[in-house]
């Protein structure tokens, strides 16, 4: 079946399968398919008899499985030999490490989507198709923030089977889904389940992710494989599980298709990174106590605590104390949800922001923009005077702050290098330390660091922890 035919049949495929295979999705009315009349595909019913419970997913799998691939990534790790170190040697040697995962072909010339963590740092990537053919692959774009990577198979001489990416976002909790991949390296495997939750943000996986949660069994090796709906379309890429044993416990997460499409489009457009716009606001989720104090009907929304000067939010008229409740009609409850909804758009797109101010519901349009500044650190600048002589640092901007630590509002300087013979090295400063202030002054420039003297208070952030101290 061609891609065009699949697209044309998308709106009726659920109803077509109802009589034969997927009546578990339910149709409470008598079928008139023989007359060319189909039931509303949005109708969803629980199974009502033994026949519907025994319905088969085989037709969906038959269409989807050929476009699901296995991925092997080889990485050379540098290790030291402790035996030779005893005799003053210890020359590093290479050890080949392999990671395995899954992926989906999304374009017939061999464009494949998988997880970034499957191929991160790989020197060689091999993709094995469902029919056992093998292809070398190169990375078109690897996006660490979304954990999505786009690969191009080498030497493809014919059209390959494709899984369409469904970005319609018409999903509901309880919808049937399939997870297809290669768990534990046993070979292609299909598991089924339902959508357990949508828009999961507070997962600890990403600060800008909004995930589909499913109870379909996902295990090591499933990473990068597709989560497929009953139309045989990709609605997400399986990326993580919550588990104490390392195996599936029925709580898996998939990157939504809208973000997958965003990364794929960036890669096919020749970009080397995904440019995520921002609204220029930061806040906290509304708790029950905050909701009562603000007179809100329920604890919902993001209470703005910071607005970037002259950023998109500020230009749209947002203020600190406003409560953002929705972006383009989609409910917002935390910073992660806001970051995902805005970051999933293109720079200069207009978004509709619904918010509450002093108990009054309002709506404004904001033109989102790329984060100011450059993500490239460059060589940095060396501190050549004062108590911090010997440091090489770079000043933070929103784009660099987002890249290094996920906080575009961070201000200060980032330590790139420390001269081991310098006084600064004796202080215990390390690369990637963020210096916030010196002597009560904001450390946003090389001049501020050069003015540091012994006895000054210093505040740094290391590994997310704020560490105050004093220069001895």
Decide which of 45 and 291 is more confident: 291
Residue 170 lies in a domain: no
Which H or E element spans position 122? none
Tokens encoding 86:
């005893």
> Looking at the structure, do residues 344 and 429 belong to the same domain, yes or no?
no
Where does residue 136 fall: left (phi above 0), alpha (psi -120 to 50 degrees), or beta otherwise?
A: beta
Residue 8 has a pLDDT of 31
pLDDT band at 464 (very low <50, low <70, confident <90, very high): confident
**What pLDDT does 263 receive?**
95
**Domain presence at residue 184:** yes
CB distance 300 to 286 below 8 Å: yes
Shared domain check, 408 and 390 = yes
CATH number of the domain bearing residue 463: 2.30.42.10
Q: Between these two residues, 145 and 228, which has the higher pLDDT value?
A: 228
Report the pLDDT averaged over residues 356-361.
90
Q: What is the DSSP letter of 114?
A: E
Between 186 and 257, whose confidence is greater? Answer: 257
Q: Domain boundary at 370, 389, 411, which? A: 370
Q: Two tokens at 139?
A: 């990375």
Q: ∠388-392-396 over CA atoms, to 5°?
A: 100
Per DSSP, the three-state class of 385 is coil
What local confidence, expressed as pLDDT, does residue 430 receive?
87
Tens digits of residue pLDDT in 362-376: 999 999 999 998 888
Domain that holds residue 390: 381-470
Question: What are the Cα distances from residue 15, in Å, to 27, 43, 230, 332?
Answer: 8, 10, 10, 33
21 and 50 co-located in one domain: yes
For 47, 214, 236, 274, 380, the CA distances from 370, given in Å and listed in that order, are 47, 32, 25, 10, 23
Residue 337 inside a domain? The answer is yes
| Whether residue 15 has pLDDT greater than 60 | no
Proportion of the chain above pLDDT 90, given as a percent: 50
Q: How confident is the model at residue 24 (pLDDT cuts 50, 70, 90)?
A: very low
Say what the pTM is: 0.77
- Phi first, then psi, for residue 14 (nearest 5°) are -65, -40
In a domain, 158, yes or no: no
Give me the chain's average pLDDT, please: 83
Structure tokens at 27: 């149709």
Q: Is 149 within 8 Å of 125 (Cβ atoms)?
A: no
Q: Look at residue 171 and tell me if it is in a domain.
A: no
- Partners of 214 in beta bridges: 195, 252
- What is the Cβ-side half-sphere exposure of residue 341, based on CA atoms within 13 angstroms? 25
Q: Which residues are catalytic?
A: 117, 147, 223
| pLDDT tens digits, 294-349 | 888 899 999 999 999 999 999 999 999 999 999 999 999 999 899 999 998 999 99
Asked if 133 and 105 touch (Cβ cutoff 8 Å), the reply is no
The stretch 186-212 carries a mean pLDDT of 84
In whole angstroms, what is the distance from residue 446 CA to residue 43 CA? 63
Of 237, 268, 299, the last residue of a domain is 268
Residue 251, burial from CB neighbour count under 10 angstroms (0-12, 13-18, 19+): middle
**Using CB atoms within 10 A of its CB, is residue 275 exposed (0-12), middle (13-18) or buried (19+)?**
middle
**HSE-up of residue 416 (Cα within 13 Å, Cβ side):** 16
Does residue 243 or residue 384 have the better pLDDT? 384
> Residues 1-31, buried b or exposed e (16+ Cβ, 10 A)?
eeeeebeeebeebbbebbeebbbbbebeeee
For the ranges 36-45, 104-113, 145-154, which has the lowest average pLDDT? 36-45
Q: What is the mean pLDDT of residues 111-125?
A: 94
Q: pLDDT digit string (tens) for 91-103?
A: 555 666 777 899 9
| Model confidence at 2: pLDDT above 50 | no
Q: Give the mean pLDDT of 22-32.
A: 34
Alpha carbons 272 and 266: distance in angstroms, whole number: 8
Distance separating alpha carbons of residues 116 and 140, to the nearest angstrom: 11
Q: How many residues belong to the chain?
A: 472
**In b/e form, how buried is each residue of 35-67, taking b as 16+ CB within 10 angstroms?**
eeebbebeeeeeeeeeebeebebebbbebbbbb
Decide the pairing of beta strands 281-285 and 302-307: antiparallel
Q: In angstroms, how far is the first alpha carbon of the chain from the final one?
A: 73
Identify whether residues 15 and 90 lie together within a single domain: no
Between 31-40, 233-242, 463-472, the lowest mean confidence (pLDDT) is in 31-40
Which of 200, 191, 177 is closest to 222 using CA atoms? Answer: 191
Q: Is residue 61 assigned to a domain? A: no
- pLDDT exceeds 60 at position 43: no
Of the two residues 154 and 388, the one the predictor is more confident about is 154
C-alpha R_g of the chain: 26
Place of tokens 């999705």: 25
Mean pLDDT for the stretch of residues 192-202 = 90
Is 282 found in the same domain as 264?
no
pLDDT attached to residue 53: 57
Range name among 134-148, 177-191, 197-211, 233-247 with the lowest pLDDT average? 197-211
Secondary structure percentages of the chain, helix, strand, coil, to 5: 20, 35, 45
pLDDT of residue 238: 95
Question: 133 and 73 in one domain?
Answer: yes
Flag whether 226 is in a domain.
Answer: yes
Tell me the two tokens of residue 259.
């973000």
E-strand ranges in 80-116 read 93-107, 111-115
Statement: residue 411 has pLDDT above 60: yes
Residues 315 and 349 in one domain: yes
Q: What is the mean pLDDT of residues 163-185?
A: 92
Reported as a single tens digit per residue, the pLDDT across 423-445 is 778 778 888 888 989 888 888 88
Instruction: Kindly report, residue by residue over 211-230, the tens digit of the pLDDT.
Output: 999 999 998 899 999 999 99
User: pLDDT value at position 21?
Assistant: 32
340 vs 36, 204, 229, 259, CA distance in Å? 41, 14, 22, 9
**pLDDT grade for 405, boundaries at 50, 70 and 90:** low
pLDDT of residue 379: 76
What would the mean pLDDT of 271-297 be, rounded to a whole number?
92
Residue 143: predicted pLDDT:
92
Examine the domain organization and report whether 186 and 135 are in the same domain: no
* Distance (Å, whole) CA 261 – CA 149: 11
* CATH number for position 253: 2.40.10.10
**Overall number of domains in the chain:** 5
CA distance 374 to 338: 22
Among 249, 268, 287, which residue terminates a domain? 268
Overall average pLDDT of the 232-259 stretch: 88
Residue 165 is assigned to a structural domain of this protein: no
CB of 439 within 8 A of CB of 404? Answer: no
pLDDT of residue 118 exceeding 70, the answer is yes
């Amino acid at each position: 079946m061609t891609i065009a035919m699949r697209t044309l049949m998308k709106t009726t495929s659920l109803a077509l399968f109802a009589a034969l295979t997927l009546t578990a999705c339910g149709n409470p009315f008598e079928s008139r398919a023989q007359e060319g009349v189909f039931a509303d595909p949005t109708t969803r019913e629980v199974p009502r008899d033994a026949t519907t419970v025994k319905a088969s997913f085989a037709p969906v799998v038959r269409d989807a499985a050929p476009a699901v691939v296995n991925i092997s990534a080889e990485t050379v790790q540098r290790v030291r030999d402790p035996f030779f170190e005893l005799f003053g040697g210890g020359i590093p040697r290479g050890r080949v490490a392999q990671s395995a995962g899954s992926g989906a072909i999304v374009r017939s010339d061999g464009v494949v989507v998988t997880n970034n963590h499957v191929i991160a740092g790989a020197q060689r990537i091999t993709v094995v198709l469902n029919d056992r053919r093998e292809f070398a692959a190169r990375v078109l774009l690897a996006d660490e923030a979304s954990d999505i990577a786009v690969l191009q198979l080498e030497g493809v001489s014919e059209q390959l089977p494709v899984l369409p990416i469904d970005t319609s976002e018409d999903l509901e909790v309880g919808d049937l889904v399939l997870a297809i991949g290669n768990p534990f390296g046993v070979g292609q495997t299909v598991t089924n389940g339902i959508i357990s939750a949508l828009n999961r943000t507070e997962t600890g996986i990403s600060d800008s992710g909004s995930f589909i949660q499913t109870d379909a069994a996902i295990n090591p090796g499933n990473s990068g494989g597709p989560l497929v709906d009953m139309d045989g379309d990709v609605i997400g890429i399986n990326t993580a599980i919550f588990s104490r044993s390392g195996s599936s416990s029925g709580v898996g997460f998939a990157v939504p298709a809208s973000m997958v499409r965003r990364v794929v489009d960036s890669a096919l457009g020749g970009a080397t990174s995904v440019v995520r716009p921002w609204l220029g606001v930061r806040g906290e989720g509304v708790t029950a106590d905050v909701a009562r104090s603000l007179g809100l009907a329920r604890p919902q929304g993001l209470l703005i605590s910071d607005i970037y000067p002259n950023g998109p939010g500020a230009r749209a008229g947002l203020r600190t104390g406003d409560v953002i409740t929705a972006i383009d009609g989609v409910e917002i409850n935390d910073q992660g949800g806001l970051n995902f909804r805005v970051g999933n758009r293109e720079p200069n797109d207009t978004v509709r922001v619904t918010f509450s101010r002093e108990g009054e519901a309002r709506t404004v349009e904001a033109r989102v923009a790329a984060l100011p500044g450059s993500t490239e650190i460059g060589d940095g600048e060396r501190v050549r005077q004062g108590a911090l002589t010997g440091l090489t640092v770079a000043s933070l901007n929103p784009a660099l702050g987002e890249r290094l630590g996920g906080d575009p509002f961070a201000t200060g300087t980032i330590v790139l290098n420390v001269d081991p013979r310098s006084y600064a090295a004796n202080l215990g400063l390390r690369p990637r330390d963020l210096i916030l202030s010196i002597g009560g002054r904001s450390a946003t420039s090389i001049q501020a660091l050069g003015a540091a003297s012994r006895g000054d208070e210093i505040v740094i952030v290391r590994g997310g922890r704020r560490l105050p101290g004093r220069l001895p």
